[in-house]
Homo-oligomer: A and B are copies of this chain.
Amino acid sequence: MADTTQAQRIDGRALAAAVREDLTHRIEVMVNAGRAPRLDAVIVQGNPAGEVYAQRQARTCEAIGLTYALHTLPADADQQLVIDTIDALNADEACTGIMVHLPLPDGVCMQAVQARIAVHKDVEGVNPANIGGVIYGQRTLVPCTAAAAMHLIESTGIELAGTRAVVVGASGIVGKPVAVLLMQAQATVTSTNIHTEDLVGHCAAADIIVAAAGVPGLIGPEHVKPGAVVIDVGINRVTCPDSGEQRTVGDVDADAVASIAGHLSPVPGGVGPVTVAMLLRNTVEAAQRA
Q: Give the chain B neighbours of A129 by CB distance below 8 A.
A: 115, 127-129, 132
Min CB distance A71 to B, Å, is: 24
Contact with B along A180-194 (1 / 0, CB 8 A): 100110101111111
A135 to B135, CA, bound (A): 11
The reply to whether B188 and A189 contact each other, CB–CB distance below 8 Å, is: no
| A139-179 residues at the B interface, CB under 8 angstroms | 140, 161-162, 164, 170, 172, 175-177, 179
A78 to chain B, nearest CB (A): 22
The contact of A111 among B138, B177, B179, B202, by CB within 8 Å, is B138
Q: In the complex, which of the residues B161, B172, B179 contacts A191, with contact meaning CB atoms closer than 8 Å? A: B179
When the two chains form their complex, are residues A191 and B188 in contact, meaning their CB atoms are under 8 A apart? yes
Q: Which of B130, B183, B195 contacts A170 (CB 8 A)?
A: B183
A175 to chain B: closest residue by CB: B183
State A180–B132 Cα separation when bound (angstroms): 10
Q: Is A89 in the interface zone, CB < 8 Å from B?
A: no
| Chain B: minimal CB distance from A131 (Å) | 5
Interface size of A as a range: 35 or more
Please determine whether B162 and A195 come into contact, CB atoms closer than 8 angstroms.
Answer: yes
Are A193 and B197 within 8 A (Cβ)? Answer: no
Checking B136, B172, B186, B190 against A193 with a beta-carbon cut-off of 8 angstroms, the contacting residue is B186
A197 with B136: in contact, given A176-B183, A189-B191, A191-B189 (CB under 8 Å)?
no
Q: A111-B138, A128-B140, A189-B191 given; name 19 further pairs at CB < 8 Å.
A: A115-B129, A128-B130, A128-B133, A128-B135, A128-B136, A130-B132, A131-B132, A135-B176, A135-B177, A136-B172, A162-B195, A162-B196, A162-B197, A164-B197, A180-B180, A186-B193, A186-B195, A188-B191, A189-B190
**What are 5 inter-chain pairs, A to B, with CB distance below 8 A?**
A111-B138, A131-B135, A135-B172, A170-B183, A170-B186
Across the A-B interface, the 5 shortest Cβ-Cβ residue pairs: A132-B132, A128-B132, A162-B195, A129-B129, A136-B172
Which residues of chain A have a CB within 8 Å of any CB of chain B? Answer: 111, 115, 119, 127-133, 135-138, 140, 161-162, 164, 170, 172, 175-177, 179-180, 183-184, 186, 188-197, 202
